[in-house]
């Protein structure tokens, strides 16, 4: 058992002595369509981290359930904190772990809105605090759509009892922002704009402008096929980090 919240301080001392790597799962509490739980991103980050921790023996910190999600604010139940607050909290959490001997931190991030802040925090930890930090997305690379088939399938795989497939919808994403045509996820012509979900979708199911994003086709088996190879890939990375010399991971001094 490597979930720090579920073991005693004596057991934590043993786990932290055995490895200087720790996982910090983080996500959000935000709308994920009418069929998925608001906690999708942090629930997936926690489940993904637990799987990695169980297979590699590294410490897994309690999940951080709220992130940078103000763009979902028009949907009831969505919660958020400002980026500066989020960055300060995540940095402080990593340094608290470092005070107990953790020198390699991997943020397991379930929410894209957190990414820029986590990269900035990781940069600061690595350059100024002698802690190697990296960001590992909790969903496989290339997985498309928000609350669509893939993400819903991952939910079905990890915690299917929280998904109501009778409410699942296929949604055609809006293709205009006022008089201007949209392309992709958040582009108007050659420019990107800071979108709110409601600009793109009435249901909260998102993908690409003018495209129909399907969630009704999600299955537990699709979720398994997406996540199991990715869990193995993540575990391989963690095993390499466990063996890596910290000095080789930290930046060189400037002259």
Torsion of CA 28, 136, 47, 97, to 10 degrees: -80
Q: What pLDDT is stored for residue 212 in this prediction?
A: 96
Q: Give CATH superfamily name and number for 4-139+226-248.
A: Creatininase (3.40.50.10310)
- Please tell me the distance from the alpha carbon of residue 190 to that of residue 97, in angstroms, as a whole number: 43
What does each C-alpha distance from 188 to 68, 97, 183 come to in angstroms? Answer: 23, 43, 6
Report the relative pairing of strands 171-172 and 176-177 from DSSP bridges. Answer: unpaired
Q: In what order do the strands lie in the sheet with 132-137?
A: 59-60, 21-26, 104-109, 132-137
3-state helix, strand, coil in the chain (%, to 5): 45, 15, 40
- Please tell me the distance from the alpha carbon of residue 127 to that of residue 166, in angstroms, as a whole number: 49
pLDDT per position as a tens digit, 46-82: 999 999 999 999 999 999 999 999 999 999 999 999 9
Nearest C-alpha neighbor of 155 from the set 25, 234, 42, 68: 42
Query: What DSSP state is assigned to residue 133?
Result: E
pLDDT per position as a tens digit, 124-167: 999 999 999 999 999 999 888 999 999 999 999 999 999 999 99
pLDDT per position as a tens digit, 111-136: 999 999 999 999 999 999 999 999 99
What pTM did the predictor assign? 0.96
Q: In what order do the strands lie in the sheet with 180-183?
A: 176-177, 180-183, 187-188, 191-192
What residue ranges do the domains of the chain occupy? 4-139+226-248
């Amino acid at each position: 058992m490597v979930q720090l919240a579920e073991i005693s301080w004596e057991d934590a001392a043993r786990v932290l002595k055995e490895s200087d790597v720790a996982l910090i799962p983080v996500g959000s509490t935000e709308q994920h369509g009418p069929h998925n739980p608001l906690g999708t991103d942090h629930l997936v980050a926690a489940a993904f981290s637990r799987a990695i921790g169980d297979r590699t023996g590294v410490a897994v910190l309690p999940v951080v359930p709220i992130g940078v999600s103000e763009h979902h604010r028009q949907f009831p139940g969505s919660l958020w904190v400002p980026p500066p607050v989020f960055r300060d909290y995540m940095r402080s959490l990593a340094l608290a772990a470092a005070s107990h001997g953790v020198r390699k931190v991997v943020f397991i991030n379930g929410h894209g809105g957190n990414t820029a802040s986590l990269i900035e925090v990781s940069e600061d930890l690595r350059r100024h605090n002698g802690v190697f930090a990296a960001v590992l997305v909790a969903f496989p690379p290339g997985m498309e759509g928000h609350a669509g088939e893939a993400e819903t399938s991952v939910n079905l795989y990890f915690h299917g009892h929280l998904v109501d497939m009778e409410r699942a919808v296929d949604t055609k994403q809006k293709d205009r922002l006022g008089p201007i045509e949209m392309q992709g996820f958040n582009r108007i012509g050659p420019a990107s704009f800071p979108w709110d979900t409601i600009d793109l979708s009435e249901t909260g199911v998102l993908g690409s402008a003018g495209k129909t994003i399907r969630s009704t086709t999600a299955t537990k088996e699709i979720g398994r096929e997406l996540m199991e190879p990715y869990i193995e890939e993540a575990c391989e990375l963690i095993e390499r980090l466990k063996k890596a010399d910290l000095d080789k991971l930290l930046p060189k001094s400037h002259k």
